[in-house]
Amino acid sequence: MYRAFNLAEIVFKQTFIDEGAASFFTNKNIVEKALSDFLKNGTIDGTKLRGHWFPEIKADVFISHSHKDQTDAKNLAGFLRKKFGLTSFIDSCVWLYSDDLLKQIDLQYCTDDGGKTYSYENRNGSTTHVHMMLATALGEMLDSAECAIFMNTPNSITSQNAVSKTHSPWIYYELGMIKLIRENVPKRLRLIKEALVNMSRASREMVPIDYAVDLSALTEINSNHLNNWDALRQKEGRDVHSLDLLYRVAAGKA
């Protein structure tokens, strides 16, 4: 990941839900297949945690959001696809399916009394396994995407005594990973930077639990930035990478 953005306002002049939903369901099918591979012939293959997760998903943008904002997340993904040709990964296509996978495992391994009740101890174990798989998957997708956009809405973040908090453990996890994950500068930007350095040398110039979250690693943007990004895309044409234009807009250089 190279950059992360804190999208504090989401207003679209038109809907892009069809394009976003298509991307969501394409990724969801890949996720279902990948996570289902952990459950083969009644055995959970934990060694696959060391492997790569979703090699078929090559996303430019990782979208982090509250489950209550899933429609807006799909709309944002559609906007990025329609306007800029960017591929998005919407995090909910992972954690929504993980609940189905957990249910499959619990029904097979964790029931008591002929399937009428669940074993508390066994359920704790199955949840740990599935959530570790999920955390690994989300971390790897964050690492491989060029940038992340966090949809900062009242559904995802609340402020108490000037401290930003979330009720979602997954938002808490993703924002924490954004701070820790390595910075991976895109090759096109490395080449530009190297060229500028050379020129300079030549010239000598769910449960009610609150998690405090740190948004300092994210650059704040809003709908005005998105509109300016769209306008700059139309002005510049297709010779410049779409995300480079976003970086310029976010830095106030456009």
User: Residue 134: which residues within 8 A CB-CB, separation 6 or more?
Assistant: 94, 95, 98, 170
Block residue for tokens 């449960």:
207
pLDDT of residue 162: 67
CA atoms within 13 A on the CB side of 62: 24
Secondary structure element (H or E) that encloses residue 151, with its range: strand 147-151
Average pLDDT over the chain reads 84
pTM value > 0.85: no
Domain boundaries, the chain: 3-250
| The one-letter amino acid at 209 | I
Block residue for tokens 């492997």:
51
Q: Token pair for residue 190?
A: 């490395």
Q: Determine how many CB atoms are found less than 10 A away from the CB of residue 163.
A: 11
C-beta of residue 167 within 8 angstroms of C-beta of residue 213 = no
Q: What is the pLDDT of residues 95-105, one digit of tens each?
A: 777 788 788 88
Helix residue ranges, H only, the chain: 17-36, 70-84, 92-109, 120-144, 169-180, 187-203, 223-236, 242-250
pLDDT category of residue 204 using cuts at 50, 70 and 90: very low
Q: Which of 79, 91, 95, 93 is nearest to 20 (CA)?
A: 79
Secondary structure element (H or E) that encloses residue 39, with its range: strand 39-40
Q: Which of 144, 105, 153 is nearest to 125 (CA)?
A: 105
Question: In the predicted model, what is the mean pLDDT of residues 155-167?
Answer: 82
Q: What is the pLDDT of residues 64-77, one digit of tens each?
A: 999 899 999 999 99
| Residue 41 region by backbone torsions, left for phi larger than 0, else alpha for psi between -120 and 50, else beta | left
pLDDT at 197 over 60: no
pLDDT at 130 over 70: yes
pLDDT at 7 over 70: yes
pLDDT category of residue 253 using cuts at 50, 70 and 90: confident
Output the CA angle 86-142-152, nearest 5 degrees. Answer: 80
Highest mean pLDDT among 113-117, 234-238, 246-250: 246-250
| The one-letter amino acid at 17 | I
Sign of the four-CA dihedral 87, 90, 96, 98: positive
